[in-house]
Amino acid sequence: MTVRLTQDEQAALIALGQETRPSEEYRSFAGIAQALEIYGLDWDRARIRRACRSLARKGLAEYMRGLWTEDGEMAGAGYGITKAGVERLKEGVTLPAAETNIMTVGHGEIADADQA
């Protein structure tokens, strides 16, 4: 059964799934905002937080604190996609306010649905 997602949740899930591994890599709110900018979405921290918390309640994302950068510096906290989140991405999601119907075709891959 497909988990129903709002447009904000779908966009946040796409951002969490970009070039990350489930339950191994996490993004801060700033990192998620940066990932969404690629699609012309300029979200504030509160909107990102709401979408990520909702995804976590649905089991598609998880919160982690005490994160470290690759250089060994403290990075704070963030959210990461779960295996269930990756599976939901494979089912397809649509970005809000996109000029074309964009959906995911696989973990970390984005394609125009008209060409898929």
Quick: pLDDT tens for 27-55.
888 889 998 888 888 889 999 999 999 99
Provide the CATH number for the domain around residue 20. 1.10.10.10
Rounded distance between C-alpha atoms, residue 113 and residue 30, angstroms = 28
Helix axes 45-57, 29-37, angle to 10 degrees: 100
Q: Residue 100: inside a domain, yes or no?
A: yes
Q: Residue 47: inside a domain, yes or no?
A: yes
Q: Residue 2: inside a domain, yes or no?
A: no
Range of the domain at 70: 7-112
Average pLDDT score over the chain? 79
Residue 31's nearest CA partner among 79, 81, 74 is 79
Q: Which residue has the higher pLDDT, 75 or 80?
A: 80
The answer to whether the pTM exceeds 0.95 is: no
